[in-house]
Structure 1
């Protein structure tokens, strides 16, 4: 199960996420999302756990708990939607600059 973790301290690293979630079972991966240009954390990340029951337990136990001095939000990650819903329609008639 892919797990979304938000409200991370900007100093929290992927290893910190992994360590927190390993208390509940095997962790395939842990990633803190960073700005492409600055490398600064965006304050959220993802954890992948292969066992769904362990993942659900981790979500229940870690949501609204403290990690590195911040109360984090932990929930099942939603699958990404296609980008087509986020782009302009092909019938857009705005100025071309």
Structure 2
């Protein structure tokens, strides 16, 4: 069993210490991560807590899922591994010129249209 826990529906005012106190009642907390928005720096409303043992993880999930924390019912479950994203690459519309005329082109649709004379 994974020892990392996902916490959803988290109050934007919750701090790392709040989570350490809440989860620490069920076992040793080894890490807390609260993701923040890149632009605003504000918390995104979820977090990850890593417990020291699988037993502590199970105890925390069972005790805290659905519990009210700062006015919001928490969603607490085992964290799933992050799925790889689609990667980079060009994702333009591929058709330059007008729609459905099969042109070659740029992402913005402008470009050479082989059907236009």
Indicate the TM-score class for this superposition, using the shorter chain for normalisation: 0.7 to 0.9
Q: Deviations over 1:40-79 (max 9, x none)?
A: 1111000001200111110000000011121110000000
**Structure number having the greater helix percentage:** 1
More strand by share: 1
Q: Which structure is higher in RCO with an 8 Å CA cutoff and minimum separation 6?
A: 1
- CA positional deviation for 1:33: 1.5
Aligned length in residues: 94
Unaligned residue ranges in structure 1 (runs of 5+) = none
Deviation of residue 31 (structure 1)? 1.8
Which structure has the bigger radius of gyration? 2
TM-score computed with the length of structure 2 as normaliser: 0.73
SS in 2 for 1:34: coil
Q: CA RMSD in A?
A: 1.7
Is there any run of 5+ residues in structure 2 with no aligned partner, and where? 95-106, 109-117
1:29 is the counterpart of 2:31: yes
In the alignment, the residues of structure 2 paired with residue 57 and residue 7 of structure 1 have an alpha-carbon distance, to the nearest angstrom, of 19
Instruction: Could you list the structure 1 runs, at least 4 aligned residues long, displaced by more than 2 angstroms after superposition.
Output: 87-90
Q: TM-score, normalised by structure 1?
A: 0.87
For residues 1-97 of structure 1, what are the structure 2 equivalents within 5 Å?
Answer: 1-84=3-86, 87=87, 94-95=93-94, 96-97=107-108
